Structure 1
């Protein structure tokens, strides 16, 4: 198909009523379910890249300054509006204060004393999402940041503590410059926390102790994962990118994209010669010969 259809919800709904060979969708989990339901009517295969709440797990052995800088970069690039942005941080309570200070230090080094003056810091995409992010910021305590301007849709890099786990901030994908910190004294508890929730699109584990990172990777499930960094797996040559469970199905990037958009049709071509009668009934007396070929 060479035609391109542009539009919004209504145009998408009409497209989903058609019969396709494949539907590829990038967006939120809620709309992903709508796409999957529509595709099921025609048994159309789908590739769904949906996002979710991608956690960062910080072990006591981690280099906290490098960890804070890398998480701050991944969280606040494009004002947090990327599907693989770190969504929240699981951290031992006694490290939380220093980590917050280090994130604030990193943000200042990236964007200056006032991020609204930086040409490297983005804005919230539209007014509706600005209001959504503003509402999420009301959950918990702002450790730093929180400044905003509705007219320009500027929302400062923000760290939040003590948000209730039942709050929208901790239940919905943030997709904005808010970074909640969650008290988590041990790796055991961090793994349990992640496993008790929908599988994320990405998971980030930070530890100098390689055994800790290996354990986190082995005992959690996510679309992708990175040890001691964030987001870089998205650009790693040769790696497929995609989700699992609520964060999506299927994968793409590089060779995986060709596989996703291809059907591997099995084809056998045979000559008319050597048409052995052994394959045809009646089979009485042929069992022994069949067994020789098995």
Structure 2
């Protein structure tokens, strides 16, 4: 019998190929880190034995069970995330990116120090089965123009 994790990994790999093709790194819509120094730094932080595909400092959960969602939000450490969506929290300027470890450092005094020590965490919750097509590849000129309107709003 396959575990839920095995099924998830299988579907995640299928989705990666569906969005970016058999060679995602060769697809111009596939995100990458620009600085070679940062690539080396990030690679040193990742345990390759635990990465099944990709790797990031954000976290996402797809679930209908509120207890599972509450546990995900309350017990995991990550800079930002979403429920039933991916990366949408990056488009909402009023939602902070809390950061984890060194990426969460930087404000030490007054309200900023208090905020830093409380570990603000961004969480966008969307209804299940809702897809925002503009967030999925291919990133066409029309999609990019529509996303520009979101930023201007």
Q: TM-score, normalised by structure 2?
A: 0.46
Q: As a proportion of its length, which structure holds more strand? A: 1
Question: Which protein shows a greater Rg?
Answer: 1
Q: As a proportion of its length, which structure holds more helix? A: 2
